[in-house]
Structure 1
């Protein structure tokens, strides 16, 4: 894989397990092929949706190498880094490069609410440790640390910090970033329920969640917006919204895995402490998914 553009749809892929909580690479491969057939532009491994906090270093290596082998350079393979210490984040970046990953998604320090100076130093240390292109994940809602415009101003001195996953929940931030930095930073929407809005405002891509179960619909919305066919995109997006809202819940992993199972490209197996949904909650979520499948639009 040569240098790539942070544009288009990048699924934050779920990590597939069997009933014994072991990595299920054949099922992961089935979903990966569905993503490719749907037209995605890259994949992200080991994110929040990939159960980052429960997968081992060896499993990350297996996922990266398996994906590279399956994809044969067709689209980039990006590995997420979510670590508590700068030293460990740097080590993970070096491992990702050694394993052959094409890029990194980088979260701020985990478990400690670093201030602006500390957060900037953390990102800079990782960037300087690798040649890989980096997308910074700006999600102050979930991770309590915001990457401000002033911080980006400093961080773009690092040439390989080239994109931002925009998850502030403030769609105006897309315009602020474009006004300040032009095309220097690619902007990818990281919130499924705001994707159409942010793409219309000029976001370059979409780090998507429900794409794991509905790849073709996700890619179609992206392509229609970029072709200026907003009314056509909106029709699909309105159908999609009840499903996209599953991405906003603390149990997004369980909800999206249930959707993958319902569409035939995944299973609902998760790794503890997460548990498979049951009872009224499972019935309620499954109804949302089945209603969506029943009304699935013709593309």
Structure 2
């Protein structure tokens, strides 16, 4: 346990330790549930981080899973106590947002409040926390056949709150890598997109984010068909990945390490921050030159 850790980080540490110990012991969640005389849903919810485990439940479970080192047990029990500390209800847990955000997205937002580093890669649009309200609204119009107007409005509001929370933080480094197409796709029309690019440029110039573009001329795909975010949390990383029709959170160490290695490699091959900002400046000037009739 690290002094000052939040309930979010402590809960994650406990559940990962439990899941990894169960897998090492070659046990299924059902076998654990039967041995502990719990419901299967309880085991699943503990491993998913949906609920915290009490110290009294944790001790016998650790023993069953073969974790008997006194120092390790003491550290996990301490984490379990921290994880059960009552926190003020977060905005993304309110009913109006729970109904319009996936479970994985809500967990991602929670982790964004704790991460020390965030690496974001996008192949289609500006990442959610960096979107202006007008850009987000225009993007949501693409889902008119799938979402009601109220649902779209709530998702736009959620992006605004997510942006406020993340960009208002200190002590977090945000790296953004965008495919060149993202900086050319005029979502919302020239005026909306120019405002979005001006906002992105300002965030890069004031040091809130570091941004690099993957130019069309570079044959260095980061991923074949999905945007993703990598968050550094304490001693581990979390991968959030989406394809447009589905999303997922991945905490497997091998998978996150593979994405991190590929991201870092390509980050040093693409256009640097200065060239990327200059490209964005050129795009803004081009959009500003378009006639009002095209807006």
Task: Report the TM-score range of the alignment, normalised by the length of the smaller protein.
Answer: under 0.3
Higher helix share: 2
TM-score normalised by structure 2 residue count: 0.27
Q: Which is higher, the Rg of structure 1 or of structure 2?
A: 2
TM-score normalised by structure 1 residue count: 0.27
